[in-house]
Amino acid sequence: MAKLHEECGVFGIYDPEGNPAVTTYYGLVALQHRGQEGCGIAVNRDREIYHHKDQGLVNEVFDEEKLEKLKGRMAIGHVRYSTAGGSLRENVQPLVLRYVKGQLAISHNGNITNAAEIRSKLERNGAIFQTTADTEIIAYLIARERINSGSIEKAVKNAMKLLKGAFSLIVMSPNKMVAARDPWGFRPLSLGKRDNAIIFSSETCAFDAIDAEFVRDVTPGEIITIEDGEMRSDTELCGRQKTSLCIFEHIYFARPDSAIAGEVVHECRKRAGAFLAKQSPVEADIVIGVPDSGLSAAQGYSEESGIPIDTGFIKNKYIARTFIKPTQSDREIAVKLKLNVLKSAVNGKRVIMVDDSIVRGTTSERIVSLLRDAGAKEVHVRVSAPPFTWPCFFGTDIPDRDQLIANSHTIEETAKIINADSLDYLSIENLHKIAPNSNCGFCDACFTGNYNVDVEHLLK
């Protein structure tokens, strides 16, 4: 199914009294929706960093024996989906390296827009890279800056000044843990506590999983250092850029039970559905949502319109990854394995199908076909996001413009292509109303082309 893929997820914990590796394992399981290609955990034990990582899901890569070997007082972890660098084992994080000041481990979520320029300069000065991921460039910069800086946190700050784009980072040195967020705040990063433990996570749902308390979001541009259980914050780089949290976190990426930028994601998606019901009403018998992120929006549409909601799809949650299928029939079977229609709910009904996005149109066409095959009389598609018209350079795998169906077809033409009786998207105006209590600005560049970072060299 040609859906957009999740981001990456990062997790870090300082806990001298507990078992940081095991806690990180559970944190990564809670963040598994953000990346299913690979994962890893690195721990600090007596100033030495030990780690294990591999391709696969968290419960595939780790078992009790592997976790038992990862003892330490602090740990960082990562779940990966490759938006840049490719799906290769060497690109799995955390990235651990050794240099003149000792060891360094880093977990990173986001994409650096000036990565190619920095990499080229470093290579001309003799740098040798082992991976193709942005993370190694960041790690190299931090290591280089650390040689001339008095502390790891100063090295992180100096490296941040050279970087453009999206980077939520957790860095571990022999003595400290440092969490940092880019000045634009493209990707989420939260701070939590549990007893004497200090925790960082891409989403608050990981705090819930380990019985930790959400404290606050890491401010865009902020650098938080943990040393011997003491926490200090450096906000010198805060407020230098217009905050630009990816709005697609609220629409699609984040788990519904996470709170991001002062908003519970489930409530934002319900608002999107309610706006769709006001914006584009249609006579129908039932509302159904496409799992998973379409479910909350469908609930909002139903509540606003008064049309009853029902379960239209059953999702097989045990299908982790679908490989490229050699024939069309195999591809169709793969779709049905992932998503099956509850025929008793849709047969003979006029159906409003709420989904989170349409990218190329191929997935929507297959899902509409499943509904029609199950006996749906009409299928009206409502999308809880505006049309994708521009690529993303900050960590979302939105394709080139010529592959986005909204750039080559009108809404009416797209409706015919996906075999829907009608189609509408959430308007840009309503998009910016789904998170009214948020404490930041949002990036909507994939819908509008209004990038808050210079990407002209990437658009050519």
| Domain edge (last residue) among 226, 241, 256 | 241
Whether residue 158 sits in one domain with residue 35 = yes
Classify residue 259: in a domain, yes or no.
Answer: no
Predicted TM-score (pTM) of this structure: 0.92
Residue with tokens 């690195």: 42
Domain harbouring 391, CATH code: 3.40.50.2020
Q: Give me the number of domains the chain comprises.
A: 2
The contacts of residue 156 (CB under 8 Å, 6+ apart) are 142, 145, 169, 171, 178, 180, 223
pLDDT of residue 398: 79
Say if residue 310 is preceded by a cis peptide, omega within 30 of 0: no
Whether residue 272 sits in one domain with residue 354 = yes
Classify residue 140: in a domain, yes or no.
Answer: yes
* Cβ–Cβ under 8 Å, residues 3 and 388: no
Whether residue 430 sits in one domain with residue 327 = yes
Classify residue 254: in a domain, yes or no.
Answer: no
Classify residue 452: in a domain, yes or no.
Answer: no
Distance CA 258, CA 34 (A): 12
Say if residue 391 is preceded by a cis peptide, omega within 30 of 0: no
**Enzyme catalytic residues:** 8
Whether residue 286 sits in one domain with residue 206 = no
Whether residue 305 sits in one domain with residue 377 = yes
Whether residue 228 sits in one domain with residue 303 = no
Distance CA 61, CA 88 (A): 15
Residue with tokens 């190299």: 140
DSSP 248-316: HIIIIIS-TT-EETTEEHHHHHHHHHHHHHHHS----SEEEE-TTTHHHHHHHHHHHH-PPB---EEE-
Whether residue 279 sits in one domain with residue 428 = yes
CA torsion angle 115 121 123 127 (round to 10): -90
Whether residue 288 sits in one domain with residue 203 = no
Classify residue 247: in a domain, yes or no.
Answer: no
Classify residue 428: in a domain, yes or no.
Answer: yes
pLDDT of residue 339: 87
Classify residue 257: in a domain, yes or no.
Answer: no
Whether residue 354 sits in one domain with residue 299 = yes
Whether residue 358 sits in one domain with residue 325 = yes
pLDDT of residue 158: 98
Domain harbouring 166, CATH code: 3.60.20.10
* Cβ–Cβ under 8 Å, residues 341 and 350: no
Residue range of the domain that includes 14? 9-241
Kindly give the confidence (pLDDT) of every residue in the chain, 460 residues in length, as a single tens digit, with 9 standing for 90 and above.
445 555 699 999 999 999 999 999 999 999 999 998 999 999 999 999 999 999 999 999 999 999 999 999 999 999 998 654 555 678 899 999 999 999 999 999 999 999 999 999 999 988 888 888 889 999 999 999 999 899 999 999 999 999 999 999 999 999 999 999 999 999 999 999 999 999 999 999 999 999 999 999 999 999 999 999 999 999 999 999 999 999 999 999 999 999 999 999 999 999 999 999 999 999 999 999 999 889 999 999 999 999 999 999 998 876 654 433 445 555 566 666 788 999 999 999 999 999 999 999 988 999 999 999 999 999 999 999 999 999 999 988 777 888 899 999 999 999 999 999 999 999 999 999 999 999 899 999 999 999 999 998 888 6
Classify residue 16: in a domain, yes or no.
Answer: yes
Whether residue 181 sits in one domain with residue 100 = yes
Whether residue 276 sits in one domain with residue 177 = no
Taking each continuous run of H as one helix and of E as one strand, the counts in the chain are: 17, 23
* Cβ–Cβ under 8 Å, residues 308 and 302: yes
